[in-house]
Structure 1
């Protein structure tokens, strides 16, 4: 009959050999928990339709957690938010009437159960423990939009009042902020060196655009640029005679003219050199005649006055 205890020593030896290995394996797989700090952005949900969450609110909370270092390291690559539900946290009318929420300053306790973490990770500390929230009444108002200029146009040119399309805009935001706005402007339009009109698309110039909701994102601005006009007097222009007989005299022999036009043209010697006075004597018989002089003027210029206007022509 076989001995049932014949293999017991071998079994005991095997267990004795495996025990240290099991111990080493178990202790080698055990990882000491670590502590770490994380900054979580706060996501405010369910803001009442007639309210505005102002910029005076807690936008981040800092948490200290403890857990498996591998899981904590994994959190670093995730976008974790803390969700604050204003309907729930403000404990409004149980009947569901959001009108029970009044404008004002509130402190909302941070609920650690809303922090989306692995259950094995422990939250040790939360700072701050309350969220500071300021709600204000939301209003909408229509404003006329104005357009400021920066720079100066090209020499001899003038920038006229700009036209904005659309000319008005509805702006929605906190009542206290909307009521502080006297005028609403677009971003400045640079007219440096401009010599002709142009159009440009520009946004509103709001100090903090995230606090407002605009009915129009961009505006088309038409900038009219025109030549600046001026006047200039050209004195003592000699009278040029055409078809003139040999013996002729004219009194006076010069004319003074006043011209008007673009400043850059008036200051150009090449253009003003094209201005001259002349008189055609074709067909005149010997004797004394009263004649007018003609002035040759470039297209861009206009003569506004001439003196004298009548000349005495004597032909022998």
Structure 2
């Protein structure tokens, strides 16, 4: 009985000690895990208040690295936010010896980074900011009107020719930094593919700018019209037999009995495999009595073609 009482007494003493130890461990662990830590944040720079007659060129500091110190839980919260550094050009140039808010001219400037603009919260301290100044270049903004050309690529269908493309509108006003605008010799749309075309077509095509983010165009989409016409050529059809209409007698002869003609027209029609079937040469001998006559032949050809020559022009007709 005495042993049981001793064990029970000891057990009552050990339990509070174990609980206290566990609580101390949790407190120490929590304190360690919530101790402030340092980390780096990469913030994009958002430039505002650019003077109306100026352009912020692409030569500028676009990010800053901010070293902060705070509890891990707050670091996790900050990492989920889309933080940016707001750079106010008018305000910041007041601190630059080279410029001022009353007279800002084209040139290179250094804008001081103001840590009070970074929304990190009171529980976060900023250890360091790199770089401490933002480098920018301002240029004079100009607008110039360019004629828009349309490059054609590819080939039309065989026997067809594409005329120079017509662009609507024919010109466009482009705004940007003066140095960049002055480098542009001509403006063109994206290439238009003829793609085996055999008829006129229209297409909407965007303006072709290598760095469109550096310019402002009055219009970015253009309507391009391309006329496609058939190529013309010539062809000689020989030995076309001459048919007789209204034969006046049983025995009639025509010398020579065939005719050759030269045709001009679209390649597609000239090269048709059925062209000779559509050509008809004849003489109408109605009312003629026996004898010898000098006569011309009549030629029927497709309306798409033009006859430029015929040989012979006169035939000898004998009626017996």
- Superposed CA deviations along residues 252-280 of structure 1, whole A, max 9, x for unmatched, are 22222111121122112123432232222
1:27 equivalent in alignment to 2:28: yes
| The one of 74, 88, 91 aligned to 1:88 | 91
CA shift in 2, pair 1:92/1:25, >3 Å: closer
CA distance in 1, matches of 2:94, 2:101: 10
DSSP-derived class of the 2:28 partner: helix
1:251 equivalent in alignment to 2:252: no
| Partner residue in 1 for 2:57 | 54
- Superposed CA deviations along residues 63-95 of structure 1, whole A, max 9, x for unmatched, are 2222222221222222111111110111189xx
| Partner residue in 1 for 2:77 | 74
| Partner residue in 1 for 2:197 | 194
- Superposed CA deviations along residues 185-226 of structure 1, whole A, max 9, x for unmatched, are 011111111111111111110110111111112111111111
Distance apart, 1:118 and its partner CA: 1.9
| Partner residue in 1 for 2:240 | 237
- Asked if 2 retains the 8 angstrom alpha-carbon contact of 1:92 and 1:98, the reply is no
Q: TM-score, normalised by structure 1?
A: 0.87
Provide the alpha-carbon RMSD of the alignment: 2.4
- Asked if 1 retains the 8 angstrom alpha-carbon contact of 2:95 and 2:111, the reply is no
Distance apart, 1:22 and its partner CA: 6.6
| Partner residue in 2 for 1:314 | 318
| Partner residue in 2 for 1:109 | 112
Question: Please, which runs of 5 or more residues in structure 1 have no aligned partner?
Answer: 1-14
1:218 equivalent in alignment to 2:204: no
- Asked if 2 retains the 8 angstrom alpha-carbon contact of 1:288 and 1:315, the reply is yes
| Partner residue in 2 for 1:279 | 283
1:292 equivalent in alignment to 2:292: no
DSSP-derived class of the 1:131 partner: strand
CA distance in 2, matches of 1:24, 1:123: 31
DSSP-derived class of the 2:278 partner: coil
Distance apart, 1:99 and its partner CA: 5.9
- Asked if 2 retains the 8 angstrom alpha-carbon contact of 1:266 and 1:272, the reply is no
Distance apart, 1:26 and its partner CA: 4.1
DSSP-derived class of the 2:195 partner: coil
CA shift in 2, pair 1:65/1:271, >3 Å: farther
CA shift in 2, pair 1:26/1:230, >3 Å: same
| Partner residue in 2 for 1:263 | 267
CA distance in 1, matches of 2:73, 2:158: 69
| Partner residue in 2 for 1:163 | 166
CA distance in 2, matches of 1:28, 1:224: 80
CA shift in 2, pair 1:273/1:34, >3 Å: farther
- Superposed CA deviations along residues 5-36 of structure 1, whole A, max 9, x for unmatched, are xxxxxxxxxx9999767755643443133333
- Asked if 1 retains the 8 angstrom alpha-carbon contact of 2:94 and 2:101, the reply is no
| Partner residue in 1 for 2:136 | 133
CA distance in 2, matches of 1:231, 1:105: 68
- Asked if 1 retains the 8 angstrom alpha-carbon contact of 2:56 and 2:139, the reply is yes
- Superposed CA deviations along residues 225-255 of structure 1, whole A, max 9, x for unmatched, are 1111111122232222233332112222222
CA distance in 2, matches of 1:131, 1:92: 12
CA distance in 1, matches of 2:309, 2:82: 79
